[in-house]
Chains A and B, each alone.
Chain A
Amino acid sequence: MTQAGALERAEARRNSASAGVLVAPALVIAVVMMLAPLAILARYSLNRFDPAELMVTAFTAQNYVKFFSDPFYLGVLWTTLRVTVIVTVVCLLLGVPMAWRLARSASRWKSAWIVLLILPLFIGSVTRTAGWMILFARGGMLDIVARALFGYGGVDLMFTETAVIFGIISINLPFTILTLQSVFEGIDTRLEEAAASMGAAPAQCFRRVIMPLAMPGVLIAGVLCFILSMNAFATPLLLGGPRFQMMGPLLYWEFSNNNNWPFAGVLAFILMATTLALTVLANIAVPRRYRPA
């Protein structure tokens, strides 16, 4: 018995060692590629900006103070959070029933539905956003239809927060649905049959049995959607226009228009820290039994 245990332990050590060897190169590359730029950015964010000399080596927190003491920048962060929360909630509200229906579908068209869902992901987000621009612009499709139906007035959604929210939802929804669908696929259908046999209505079964089991997956889908929205760049830039500020485009403005790398570094760090903090907070807020393993 002891000998068998020793053999098992040796086998486990071998497996662990070989796994380590396989994982190590990718891990090293990932860590270097991620941490090295972050370290450089962190250093830059403590430098000083001078319009004539650009970045001047220093060790100052003045860029961070500038962000937190200026209502304009705090307002941009707030707008980013507001848009992100709306997008995440809408994606989950739309995504859960769609993913559930897809997971439980026995139709021969199921593969076709999944392909249709994935199809938008084959098109770059900028190209898709260009499509939205044609739809939303004055004289665009929505405007023409609205004028034809309602006469005077028309619809001009370009350069509005609504357009940005629509645009980001269109990008994030397929990711949300695909994540949720795989979660629902993993839930045993016999659980629903058992609930039904005990008199639970379908809605009650979904609420009391399926959703608690799917919660870890829902949390992951929500976090994925949240991160994508917080860091959105092309959509707010193209659909929101220059007067709609979110953190991503603002960061690019500081970098490209002002050549202010230290402040752009600060914006990048604050965006990253906020995203990370809220992701952790969401994880804590969900009861332990519903969290991903």
Chain B
Amino acid sequence: MGKVNFMPVSRRSVLAGAAALAAPALLSRTAKADERCVVGTWGGDYARLLRENIDDPILKPAGVEVVQAVGDEAPRLAQLQAQRQLPRGALDISCLGALNGSVAANLNLLETLDETKVPNLKHVDARLHSGTFMPNQFVPHIWSVQGIAYNPQTVKDPPKKLADLLDPKWKGKVGALATADKWVIQGAALAAGGSSNDFDKGKEFLLKLNANGLRVYPQTDDMAPAFKSGEIEVGIVWLARTVMWQNAEFPVAGLVPEEGAIIYISGMVVPKNAPDKETAFKYMNALLEPSAQRGFAAHMGYIPTVNDAELAGKVAEQLALPTDAKLVQPDYAKVTAASADLSDWWLKNILRK
């Protein structure tokens, strides 16, 4: 009986075979890691909607793994600034409000984008363009305007403009948001007959409004129960919120003030030292896809920032702005330069008892 060979293949060929079998897994792992995008974002509904409308339906099938770094906006801006000297920052994308986006742009922290990098930039609504800043450094994601909210059950003749709120009949019945200082001052400047940059006129108007019993709320959502309980009948607030409250069955309607409405934009930026810029560009493009934009419009009440995301049905009705609405894009450079003074003034004159 001859020697039986229990090893018909050599050890070397087994190892080679194992390596060949493992290669796709290893390669796909490498590929997955190469296509990772770290997004610094707000938490809550916003983060959930990013996952549901961008990450899972658009980027995941394209092999991009999105990691959300959830936190507040101020630390995110500070993080961008603190990491500016590093060759590789921590974030590929950072979500900011337009005002903080402008600060980041002034600090030269942001990558400049164009249609070769982000093809969907060509669809960004022209009303949102602002010099070289937007949309080429700051990509607008969602937008709304600062309007007048009112309780339609108790207010049959709502104020048409912010200036109407000085009428004693609204005494103690008007609410505003404590953290919207720069926006309310700009809106007040329009109400006082100036441009949005006439901050002194705005301050003067607000002192009168404050004397008329202006109520101030810490968070936007604190105003909904105030409408419901009858504490306030009118509010100065983003119209997107009135849509959300309507959907939650709070008695609130919204209108665009006749003097003009200040545009509020929330968007995203690519830091100059983003670890993976190519993936960040893909994310930016996905952000502007009509399907993603419609998802945010339906659930958050914000208007799409692109002109190819047409809305339909109830959402289109709720988000439609009057055709003659005067929309005012803030002068970001001026507001940024004055922001510390405006905030200080607001704290000491409006928030002071």
Instruction: Report which A residues bind B (CB closer than 8 A).
Output: 49, 51-55, 72, 137-139, 237-238, 241-245, 253, 255-261
Contacts and interface: CB of A to CB of B under 8 A. Distances in A.
A51 B218 contact: no
Nearest to A156: B231
Interface string B312-328: 00000000000000000
B127 interface: no
A142 B298 CA distance: 38
17 contacts: A51-B338, A52-B106, A52-B107, A53-B106, A54-B81, A137-B225, A138-B226, A138-B231, A139-B225, A242-B178, A243-B352, A243-B353, A257-B343, A258-B340, A259-B100, A260-B340, A261-B78
B81 A242 contact: no
Please report whether the interface of chain A is mostly helix, strand, loop or mixed according to DSSP: loop
Contact size range, B:
20 to 34
Contacts of B207: none
A51 B99 CA distance: 11
Contacts of A55: 81
B181 interface: yes
B336 interface: yes
A241 B218 contact: yes
A138 B229 contact: yes
B14 interface: no
Given A53-B107, A54-B81, A139-B229, A257 B179 contact: yes
Nearest to A70: B348
A54 B217 CA distance: 27
B352 A256 contact: no
Contacts of B106: 52-53
Which 3 interchain pairs have the tightest Cβ spacing? Answer: A242-B178, A139-B229, A51-B340
B229 A237 contact: no
B336 A52 contact: yes
A83 to B, nearest CB: 14
Interface in B86-108: 100, 103, 106-107
Interface in B214-248: 216-218, 225-226, 228-231
A253 B229 contact: no
A54 B337 CA distance: 11
Contacts of B336: 51-52
Contacts of B348: 72
A72 B352 contact: yes
B216 A243 contact: yes
Contacts of A53: 106-107
Contacts of A139: 225, 228-230
Nearest to A252: B74
Interface in B171-207: 178-179, 181
Nearest to A244: B353
Contacts of B226: 138
Contacts of A257: 74, 179, 181, 343
A70 B44 CA distance: 38
Interface string B328-353: 00000000111110011001100111
B339 A258 contact: yes
Contact of B339 (A51, A137, A244, A245): A51
Nearest to A249: B218
Contacts of A238: 218
Contact of B218 (A138, A237, A245, A259): A237
Contact of A245 (B179, B216, B340, B351): B351
Contacts of B231: 138
B166 interface: no
A243 B338 contact: no
A255 B73 CA distance: 11
B341 to A, nearest CB: 8
Nearest to A139: B229
